[in-house]
Structure 1
Amino acid sequence: MHSNTVRYIRNLFRSTGAVPLHAPRFVGNEKNYLGSCIESMEVSSEGEYVERFEGMVNEYCGSRYAVAFNSTESAMRVALVLAGTGPDCEVLTQPLAHAMTANTVDSFGAEPIFIDVERKTMGMDPDRLREFLAYNAELREGGCFNRHTGRRITACVPVHTLGFPCRIDDIRTVCDEYGIMLIEDASEAFGSAYKGTMAGRFGRCGIYGFEGHKIATCGDGGVLVCDDEALAEQARSVGTIPYLSDAQGAEQGRFSSRMSNLNAAVGCAQMEHIRTIVTKQRDLTRRYREFFAEYEEDEELQLFRMKKQNEPNCWLNALLFEAPEDRDAFLEATNAEGVAARALWPLISDLPRFSECAGTDADNARWLQERIATLPSGVR
């Protein structure tokens, strides 16, 4: 099966050499728009493409306000500021994810709390979230507090892992009951939908990522979306250091993190083709599904499926193996041939810095992390 898979992937991507996990594709106005930036000298965060890019994100996702930042981490940091996160606070998130969120929480002097995921979605389990809060949380004047630690729980950050939507509506219901701000990490899910609504649109705010390996790229960048005008203006303020002749108005907590016009120019060119890109990604998933169908019973593996109520953007396709040793053998064989299949990230709750953090067990997250291999899924 391994050699057949390598041949099939090479044929899909028309490559006789190395096949990366997810490479960007520039087939539109990227060079034209970058040239326009250089000619106009508008290369910082003040430029026409920043506003245009934010408008294109709004139009595509159905949000009212979008604020573009220089990275996903910056967008997440601003969102946590809006939630009131600081020292002696706690933020709920999940162990199966990139460490960016936990590291950002840690940078505030706050503590991440890890809630296990569901096997069927790879995203936070709303039932485990409810159980954790029922035992640990209490509502007081000033918000939701952990009755055992005394720290305020400021936010909940579930992740749409690999672009597969989690049960975000149920998570929102739990957060609303406890007055916890829901920050939706849709950094991998730009173009995904859940029950007909775009991922990133269920929380008080949502975060999209536009790094070089994402489904659409600005080179680097992140966007915060919301429907609250005051919240959007606060996000712009937090992410902008005012240029004044004196220190007046340079408020504590602000940091320069807005997206540059250069990055936004690339993003605008990408957004002009976003619907085609997502269609092509879903077609790639269909092709993978057809190929692996003949192996699923004998090889005890399956392509991670789209659920009926989900419309993932198919950013990364994932194979789920029954046994960890089979997954490891697959990764070794494909990478030896230059085909960049990858394991998921190590569990954040296993990292030394976060190993003592509270939360639920991580049984499902660990089960998935040991069995999933992601496949080359770049835009063709």
Structure 2
Amino acid sequence: MKQIDQFIEFVRDQYKTTDFIPLHEPRFQGNEKKYVLETIDSTFVSSVGAYVDLFEEMMAEISQTERAVAVVNGTAALQVALRLAGVKQGDEVLTQALTFVATANAIAYNNAKPVFLDVDLDTLGLSPKAVEAFLEEQGELREDGCYNKKTGNKISACLPMHTFGFPVDLNELMDVCNKWNIPVVEDAAESIGSTYHGKPTGSFGQLGIYSFNGNKIVTAGGGGAIVSNDKQMGNFAKHLTTTAKKPHKYEYVHDELGHNYRMPNLNAALICAQLEQLDSFIENKRKLAEKYESFFEEWGINFRKENPDTTVNYWLMCVELEDRKERDMFLNETNEKGVMTRPIWKLMYKLPMYENCFRDEQKNAEYLEDRIVNIPSSVVIDG
């Protein structure tokens, strides 16, 4: 396919290499070494240190929330955020099947049940209309919240995920969930720096979470964060993720079943240096997205771009191909020739541990699963 060869040539020209081109690799071109060495010199390399505190301050500012809490990874952040939102054993959580497995796993870690609802074609994320349709059919408001009148289980949270950095339609989703008294927890693992109507993703729900895995725009090697505009809830998140230990000079007193989900100061030093470059990284990626858009437009291929009233970080850029056959051909040829591309995730209910969970028709999710391919999206090194 001539277009694929030209695509490979185009990508190699952007990254100026004939070597293997990964989907997304980190860039360390700021104060990373300096801050990590300072941490080593201080001997505060574990879960207490100046960079942990600085990271939490920086994330509260970036997310425009009252409190941010450093944790070991995004999945841990999700698990605890759902617990804080009130998710308990046997409850149901409304979410999307078109997502990375951590979204569903975090629900299961709380011994709750994911309810998989469809996504919107334009956002790739949880559809407010699908949520509303499900609740109109199966929801029942009671004094202590919303229940599934068919199963009898409480619907204790709604968990949208901002796919590849593209914001969900948050205004409409928040309206639906507020009407049914369901807390929203935003899985903003992929969308740091993205905005919806001028506000950062992660700041709309009762809680939000971010991931700083090695393949994200900015990385701590791992790492995650919980954010909230409820400062008391944020402080409790800090308590739970640091083994629920009460402050004391020397006694070990733990008053909750806590988690050892603390981010080491070493990792915090790395992510602080990365966050200093977040704006420039996103600017760089948005320029690359413009080039991709122009390239694919010539071939009549739909390069996914941001919707009105949103600003997208373009964490992973993607194209929508004609069908699964064309998708698979594109994947095979690019990967065989050293340019990494990847299909969107397998839908969660197609995995053995979630195959018996409730799902709606999933018309849009299945359409996208057959067609969406991620393409190389790393920050381009100038010069």
Pairwise TM-score range, normalised by the shorter structure: over 0.9
Once residues 3 and 78 of structure 1 are traced to their aligned partners in structure 2, the CA distance between those partners, rounded to angstroms, is 46
Determine which of 286, 294, 298 is the counterpart of 1:294: 298
Question: What's the counterpart of residue 361 of structure 2?
Answer: 361
Residue 108 of structure 1: how far off its partner (Å): 2.0
Q: CA RMSD in A?
A: 1.3
**Is the CA contact 2:79–2:109 (under 8 Å) kept in the aligned structure 1?**
no
Question: What's the counterpart of residue 338 of structure 1?
Answer: 338
Residue 45 of structure 1: how far off its partner (Å): 1.4
Determine which of 206, 211, 220 is the counterpart of 1:204: 206
Question: What's the counterpart of residue 170 of structure 2?
Answer: 168
TM-score, normalised to structure 2, is: 0.95
Once residues 202 and 164 of structure 2 are traced to their aligned partners in structure 1, the CA distance between those partners, rounded to angstroms, is 14
Residue correspondence of structure 1 range 311-330 to structure 2 within 5 A: 311-330=311-330
**Is the CA contact 2:67–2:235 (under 8 Å) kept in the aligned structure 1?**
no
**Is the CA contact 1:282–1:313 (under 8 Å) kept in the aligned structure 2?**
yes
Partner amino acid, structure 1, of 2:161? V
Question: What's the counterpart of residue 82 of structure 2?
Answer: 80
**Is the CA contact 1:341–1:376 (under 8 Å) kept in the aligned structure 2?**
yes
Residue 61 of structure 1: how far off its partner (Å): 2.5
**Is the CA contact 1:77–1:104 (under 8 Å) kept in the aligned structure 2?**
yes
Question: What's the counterpart of residue 376 of structure 1?
Answer: 376
Question: What's the counterpart of residue 283 of structure 2?
Answer: 279
Residue correspondence of structure 1 range 49-128 to structure 2 within 5 A: 49-128=51-130
Partner amino acid, structure 2, of 1:70? V
**Is the CA contact 1:165–1:194 (under 8 Å) kept in the aligned structure 2?**
yes
SS in 2 for 1:213: coil
Determine which of 229, 253, 263 is the counterpart of 1:259: 263
Once residues 314 and 57 of structure 1 are traced to their aligned partners in structure 2, the CA distance between those partners, rounded to angstroms, is 19
SS in 2 for 1:257: coil
Question: What's the counterpart of residue 150 of structure 1?
Answer: 152
SS in 1 for 2:177: helix
Once residues 111 and 95 of structure 2 are traced to their aligned partners in structure 1, the CA distance between those partners, rounded to angstroms, is 16
**Is the CA contact 2:85–2:206 (under 8 Å) kept in the aligned structure 1?**
no
Once residues 256 and 90 of structure 1 are traced to their aligned partners in structure 2, the CA distance between those partners, rounded to angstroms, is 25
Deviations 1:181-225 (A, max 9, x none): 100111100000111111111111111111110011111111111
SS in 2 for 1:349: helix
SS in 1 for 2:184: strand
Residue 65 of structure 1: how far off its partner (Å): 1.1
Question: What's the counterpart of residue 177 of structure 1?
Answer: 179
Residue 246 of structure 1: how far off its partner (Å): 6.6
Residue 60 of structure 1: how far off its partner (Å): 2.2
For this pair of structures, how many residues does the alignment match?
A: 375
Deviations 1:328-372 (A, max 9, x none): 111111001010010011000111111111131211111101101
Q: Which runs of 5+ in 2 are unaligned?
A: none
TM-score, normalised to structure 1, is: 0.96
Residue 142 of structure 1: how far off its partner (Å): 2.0
Deviations 1:143-194 (A, max 9, x none): 2111111111111000110111110111111111111110011110000011
- Taking only the aligned residue pairs, the percentage that are identical comes to 38
Determine which of 104, 127, 131 is the counterpart of 2:133: 131
Determine which of 247, 254, 261 is the counterpart of 1:250: 254
Question: What's the counterpart of residue 350 of structure 1?
Answer: 350
Residue 252 of structure 1: how far off its partner (Å): 3.7
Once residues 361 and 293 of structure 1 are traced to their aligned partners in structure 2, the CA distance between those partners, rounded to angstroms, is 31
Residue 312 of structure 1: how far off its partner (Å): 0.6
Deviations 1:55-83 (A, max 9, x none): 11222222221111000011101101102
**Is the CA contact 1:132–1:359 (under 8 Å) kept in the aligned structure 2?**
no
Residue 126 of structure 1: how far off its partner (Å): 0.3
**Is the CA contact 2:99–2:345 (under 8 Å) kept in the aligned structure 1?**
yes
**Is the CA contact 1:90–1:152 (under 8 Å) kept in the aligned structure 2?**
yes
**Is the CA contact 1:117–1:364 (under 8 Å) kept in the aligned structure 2?**
yes
Once residues 56 and 107 of structure 2 are traced to their aligned partners in structure 1, the CA distance between those partners, rounded to angstroms, is 26
Once residues 255 and 102 of structure 2 are traced to their aligned partners in structure 1, the CA distance between those partners, rounded to angstroms, is 25
Once residues 184 and 156 of structure 2 are traced to their aligned partners in structure 1, the CA distance between those partners, rounded to angstroms, is 9
SS in 2 for 1:189: coil
Partner amino acid, structure 1, of 2:293? R
Residue correspondence of structure 1 range 299-314 to structure 2 within 5 A: 301-314=301-314
Residue 377 of structure 1: how far off its partner (Å): 0.2
Once residues 361 and 170 of structure 1 are traced to their aligned partners in structure 2, the CA distance between those partners, rounded to angstroms, is 21
